[in-house]
Amino acid sequence: MTTDKPIDVANFITTFMDGAYSSMKRAFDGLTEEQLQKQPTADTNSMVWLAWHANRWQDKQSAQAVGEDEVWVSGGWHDKFGMPADRSGIGDTLEQVAEFKPSQELLWGYIDAAHQAFTRRVESMSAEDLAKNVDYIPGRGDPRPVWRTLMGACSDTFKHTGQIEYIRGMLTGKGWFPA
Protein backbone atom coordinates (compact mmCIF):
# COMPACT_ATOMS: atom_id res chain seq x y z
CA MET A 1 0.00 0.00 0.00
CA THR A 2 1.37 3.38 -0.97
CA THR A 3 0.66 6.49 1.04
CA ASP A 4 1.54 10.13 0.66
CA LYS A 5 1.53 10.67 4.41
CA PRO A 6 4.90 11.53 5.96
CA ILE A 7 6.50 8.80 8.03
CA ASP A 8 8.24 9.51 11.33
CA VAL A 9 11.38 7.45 10.74
CA ALA A 10 12.67 7.85 14.30
CA ASN A 11 9.38 6.57 15.75
CA PHE A 12 9.38 3.66 13.30
CA ILE A 13 12.92 2.67 14.30
CA THR A 14 12.35 2.93 18.07
CA THR A 15 9.06 1.02 17.86
CA PHE A 16 10.78 -1.71 15.84
CA MET A 17 13.63 -1.98 18.36
CA ASP A 18 11.21 -2.00 21.32
CA GLY A 19 9.57 -5.04 19.72
CA ALA A 20 12.89 -6.81 19.23
CA TYR A 21 13.89 -6.02 22.83
CA SER A 22 10.62 -7.51 24.14
CA SER A 23 11.04 -10.59 21.96
CA MET A 24 14.58 -11.17 23.26
CA LYS A 25 13.40 -10.80 26.87
CA ARG A 26 10.57 -13.28 26.27
CA ALA A 27 12.91 -15.79 24.61
CA PHE A 28 15.29 -15.66 27.59
CA ASP A 29 12.52 -16.05 30.15
CA GLY A 30 12.86 -19.14 32.35
CA LEU A 31 16.03 -20.50 30.75
CA THR A 32 19.11 -21.49 32.72
CA GLU A 33 22.54 -19.94 32.20
CA GLU A 34 23.62 -23.22 30.60
CA GLN A 35 20.74 -23.12 28.10
CA LEU A 36 21.38 -19.47 27.23
CA GLN A 37 25.06 -20.15 26.63
CA LYS A 38 24.50 -23.30 24.57
CA GLN A 39 25.73 -23.24 21.01
CA PRO A 40 23.57 -25.54 18.87
CA THR A 41 26.78 -26.61 17.08
CA ALA A 42 30.43 -25.78 17.67
CA ASP A 43 30.39 -23.21 14.87
CA THR A 44 27.19 -21.32 15.74
CA ASN A 45 26.34 -18.55 18.17
CA SER A 46 24.66 -18.84 21.55
CA MET A 47 21.61 -16.85 22.62
CA VAL A 48 23.71 -14.71 24.97
CA TRP A 49 26.25 -13.87 22.25
CA LEU A 50 23.50 -13.01 19.73
CA ALA A 51 21.68 -10.74 22.20
CA TRP A 52 24.91 -9.01 23.24
CA HIS A 53 26.10 -8.50 19.65
CA ALA A 54 22.75 -7.14 18.41
CA ASN A 55 22.55 -4.63 21.26
CA ARG A 56 26.24 -3.81 21.01
CA TRP A 57 25.74 -2.90 17.35
CA GLN A 58 22.70 -0.73 18.18
CA ASP A 59 24.74 1.07 20.82
CA LYS A 60 27.67 1.58 18.45
CA GLN A 61 25.60 2.81 15.50
CA SER A 62 23.32 5.15 17.44
CA ALA A 63 26.24 6.66 19.41
CA GLN A 64 28.11 7.33 16.16
CA ALA A 65 24.99 8.93 14.68
CA VAL A 66 24.68 11.50 17.46
CA GLY A 67 28.39 11.91 18.27
CA GLU A 68 28.27 10.34 21.75
CA ASP A 69 30.40 7.74 23.43
CA GLU A 70 28.93 4.26 23.34
CA VAL A 71 27.30 3.11 26.59
CA TRP A 72 29.62 0.10 26.26
CA VAL A 73 32.50 2.50 27.00
CA SER A 74 30.92 5.37 28.97
CA GLY A 75 29.18 2.95 31.34
CA GLY A 76 32.31 0.85 31.78
CA TRP A 77 30.53 -2.22 30.41
CA HIS A 78 33.56 -3.35 28.42
CA ASP A 79 35.51 -3.52 31.69
CA LYS A 80 32.66 -5.36 33.44
CA PHE A 81 32.68 -7.93 30.61
CA GLY A 82 36.50 -7.99 30.54
CA MET A 83 36.56 -7.08 26.86
CA PRO A 84 38.20 -4.42 24.69
CA ALA A 85 36.29 -1.18 24.23
CA ASP A 86 36.16 -1.63 20.46
CA ARG A 87 34.80 -5.19 20.45
CA SER A 88 31.32 -5.45 18.96
CA GLY A 89 31.14 -9.07 17.88
CA ILE A 90 31.93 -8.34 14.24
CA GLY A 91 34.84 -10.59 13.37
CA ASP A 92 34.65 -12.65 16.57
CA THR A 93 36.29 -16.04 16.27
CA LEU A 94 34.54 -19.29 17.17
CA GLU A 95 36.70 -19.38 20.30
CA GLN A 96 35.54 -15.90 21.35
CA VAL A 97 31.91 -16.89 20.83
CA ALA A 98 32.37 -20.11 22.84
CA GLU A 99 34.11 -18.24 25.67
CA PHE A 100 31.37 -15.60 25.93
CA LYS A 101 29.49 -16.64 29.07
CA PRO A 102 28.27 -13.57 31.00
CA SER A 103 25.71 -13.88 33.75
CA GLN A 104 22.17 -12.89 32.82
CA GLU A 105 22.40 -10.02 35.29
CA LEU A 106 25.50 -8.60 33.60
CA LEU A 107 24.17 -9.20 30.09
CA TRP A 108 20.76 -7.64 30.72
CA GLY A 109 22.34 -4.75 32.63
CA TYR A 110 24.17 -3.83 29.44
CA ILE A 111 21.27 -4.62 27.11
CA ASP A 112 18.91 -2.46 29.17
CA ALA A 113 21.39 0.44 29.24
CA ALA A 114 22.12 0.12 25.51
CA HIS A 115 18.42 -0.08 24.60
CA GLN A 116 17.58 3.00 26.68
CA ALA A 117 20.46 4.94 25.12
CA PHE A 118 19.49 3.84 21.61
CA THR A 119 15.89 4.95 22.14
CA ARG A 120 16.92 8.30 23.64
CA ARG A 121 19.39 8.96 20.85
CA VAL A 122 17.04 8.11 18.01
CA GLU A 123 14.12 10.02 19.55
CA SER A 124 16.32 13.11 19.76
CA MET A 125 17.15 13.08 16.04
CA SER A 126 15.65 15.54 13.61
CA ALA A 127 15.01 14.82 9.94
CA GLU A 128 18.27 16.65 9.21
CA ASP A 129 20.16 14.45 11.68
CA LEU A 130 18.75 11.32 10.04
CA ALA A 131 19.85 12.57 6.60
CA LYS A 132 23.51 13.32 7.47
CA ASN A 133 26.16 10.84 6.31
CA VAL A 134 28.16 8.60 8.65
CA ASP A 135 30.35 5.52 8.17
CA TYR A 136 28.30 2.37 8.69
CA ILE A 137 31.40 0.35 9.45
CA PRO A 138 34.28 2.83 9.72
CA GLY A 139 36.98 2.04 7.19
CA ARG A 140 34.68 -0.22 5.14
CA GLY A 141 32.45 1.06 2.41
CA ASP A 142 31.00 4.40 1.61
CA PRO A 143 29.28 6.69 4.10
CA ARG A 144 25.51 6.43 4.18
CA PRO A 145 22.71 8.48 5.73
CA VAL A 146 22.11 7.94 9.44
CA TRP A 147 18.63 6.57 8.77
CA ARG A 148 20.15 3.82 6.57
CA THR A 149 22.77 3.07 9.20
CA LEU A 150 20.04 2.71 11.83
CA MET A 151 17.98 0.54 9.49
CA GLY A 152 21.07 -1.66 9.11
CA ALA A 153 21.13 -2.04 12.89
CA CYS A 154 17.39 -2.86 12.77
CA SER A 155 18.01 -5.52 10.12
CA ASP A 156 20.84 -7.05 12.14
CA THR A 157 18.69 -7.03 15.28
CA PHE A 158 15.73 -8.57 13.41
CA LYS A 159 17.90 -11.42 12.13
CA HIS A 160 19.55 -12.09 15.48
CA THR A 161 16.24 -11.94 17.36
CA GLY A 162 14.88 -14.61 15.01
CA GLN A 163 17.97 -16.73 15.64
CA ILE A 164 17.49 -16.33 19.40
CA GLU A 165 13.86 -17.39 19.13
CA TYR A 166 14.78 -20.36 16.95
CA ILE A 167 17.39 -21.55 19.46
CA ARG A 168 14.81 -21.13 22.24
CA GLY A 169 12.45 -23.40 20.31
CA MET A 170 15.22 -25.96 19.81
CA LEU A 171 15.84 -26.00 23.56
CA THR A 172 12.29 -26.09 24.87
CA GLY A 173 10.02 -27.11 22.00
CA LYS A 174 7.24 -25.44 20.13
CA GLY A 175 5.08 -24.31 23.03
CA TRP A 176 7.41 -21.73 24.57
CA PHE A 177 5.74 -18.78 22.87
CA PRO A 178 2.19 -18.28 24.17
CA ALA A 179 -0.48 -17.76 21.54
pLDDT level of residue 1 (50, 70, 90 thresholds): very low
Domains of the chain: 23-29+38-174 (1.20.120.450)
pLDDT band at 4 (very low <50, low <70, confident <90, very high): low
Question: What mean pLDDT, rounded, does the chain reach?
Answer: 90
CA distances from 83 to 41, 89, 110, 120, 130 (A): 24, 11, 13, 25, 31
pTM, to two decimals: 0.91
| Surface-to-core class of residue 87, CB atoms within 10 Å of its CB (0-12 exposed, 13-18 middle, 19+ buried) | middle
Q: Give the pLDDT mean for 76-88.
A: 96
The 10s digit of each residue's pLDDT in 147-178 is: 988 998 999 999 999 999 999 999 998 776 66
Is residue 108 over pLDDT 90?
yes
Question: Using CA atoms, how far apart are residues 110 and 56, in angstroms rounded to an integer?
Answer: 9
User: pLDDT tens digit string along 5-57?
Assistant: 566 888 889 999 999 999 999 999 999 999 999 999 999 999 999 999 999 99
